[in-house]
Amino acid sequence: MAQLSGPDSAEGRVLVVNAGSSSLKLRVLGPDDSVVASADLPAPRGSTDATLVADAIRGLGEVDAVGHRIVHGGTVFSSPIAIDATVIERLVALTDLAPLHQPKSLAALAAVNAVLPDVPAVACFDTAFHATLPPAAATYALPSEWRKRWDLRRFGFHGLSHAYASRRAAELLGRPAQGLRVVTCHLGAGASLAAVRDGRSVDTTMGFTPLEGLVMATRSGSVDPGLVLWLEEHVGMPPAELAATLEHRSGLFGLAGTADMREILEAAASGGAGATLARDVYIHRLRGSIAAMAASLGGLDAIVFTGGVGEHAPAIRELAVRDLGFLGIELDPKANGEASPDCEIGTGTARVRTLVVVAREDVQIAHEVRRVLGAGGRD
C-alpha cells in the first residue's frame, strides 16, 4: 500500500477535495494540519470545468495524497478506504442514495484523478461515522423484507464534522474520548446533531436522507410521512415536486422567506411575524433534539456548537439551551456573546461543559487519509 512520509517531515501534504452542490473546495494541509494552499471553484460539470480544476491543482504545488469527501457510503463503506477502480464502481452504484451529492463528488474525483493519477487517494464518508449506531437507533419500524431488500436504515450525515467536533472537544477538555459523552451540534445550511460516546456515534438526527431531523435553511426537517402521502394522493402533487419543495423551498426559507439566519434574527428582533415563527420553530426542534441526544447517551458531559450558525449566532446558542438547565447546561452570557474559535462558553460551575468549535472537515479528512495510508496522523 502507498504510504505518506512521516508526519514530522517536510512532506505529508494532503489535498482535501470537498465537492458541494455548486462549489469545489480544494485545501492542501501540511503535516501539522495547517492550510498551506487553497482554491475555490465551481463544481465541475464538463470538460471546461475539468480544465479549471487541473489548472487550480497545478497551482497548489505538489501533494503526497488526496482525500475526497464523499457524502454517502451506504452499508458498503463504514470507514475511509483507498480509492481504486472497484471502489469507484461501488460509489457509482450508491448514487441513488444521494442523487444530489454523489454525482458532484464523483465528478470531482474524476477531475482530480486526471491530474494526479499516481497520487494515492482516499474516500472519506459523511455516513461512516454513524456506522456505529446501535440497531435501536439505526432501524426504522418497517417490514423486515423492505429493510433487507433496499437497505432501509438511518444512515446519518455530517459525520466528518461530528467526528472532528467530538475529537476536538476531548482535546479542549483535556480528556480522553473514552468515557466522554458529547452532543455535537452541526448547525449550518444543513443541520444535524450527534450523540457521541467514547468517540463513537450512538445516535443522530438525520436518517435515510439528510431531510430527517432539524429544521434547516431550505430543508423541512422531519415531517409526518402521512402529510406527504396526503399531498400526493389528495392534491395530486408529483413526487418530483414534493422532493424539490421539501429540499429547496422549506425550512427557514419556507417559514420566513429567507434561508439566512442572520436576516431572520434581525427581523425577529424587530417583531417580524414570519421571522419570529421561523426562529421559534427552529429552536423548538433543536432544543428537543438536544435533550433526545442526551437521553441516548444516558447523561451528558459536554455540548459542542459548530458550523456557520453554531459558530456565529450566539442568540441561537443561548435560546437552544435556555430551558436545558435540568441537563446541567448553563451559559456564561459574556463568554457566549464574545465566543472566539475553539472556546468554552459555559459558566465555571455548570455540570456540563459548553464549547464552540470551528468546523474543520478538512482536518478530519486529512486525519483519515493519514490513518488509511499508514502515516500515523494526529489523534
Active site residues: 126
List, in order, residues 6 or more apart from 158 with CB less than 8 Å away. 126, 186, 190, 192, 194, 206
Return phi, psi of residue 262, to 5°.
-60, -45
DSSP code string of 179-216: T-EEEEEEESSSEEEEEEETTEEEEES--SSTTSSS--
List, in order, residues 6 or more apart from 64 with CB less than 8 Å away. 4, 5, 11, 12, 13, 14, 119, 120
**Per-residue exposure over 98-134, b if at least 16 CB sit within 10 Å of its own CB, e if not:** beebbebbbbbbebbbebbeebbbbbbbbbbbbbbbe
Write the CA distances from 256 to 27, 143, 197, 248, integer angstroms.
35, 38, 36, 14
Name the amino acid, one letter, at 53: V
Place of cell 432501509: 152
Which of 296, 300, 292, 258 has its CA nearest to residue 275?
A: 258
Report helix, strand or coil for 353.
strand
Burial class, 77, CB count within 10 angstroms (exposed 0-12 / middle 13-18 / buried 19+): buried
Q: Pick left, alpha or beta for residue 137 (phi over 0 → left; psi -120 to 50 → alpha; otherwise beta).
A: alpha
Inter-residue contact 199 to 170 (CB < 8 Å)? yes
* Residue 256 in grid coordinates: 420566513
Inter-residue contact 84 to 113 (CB < 8 Å)? no
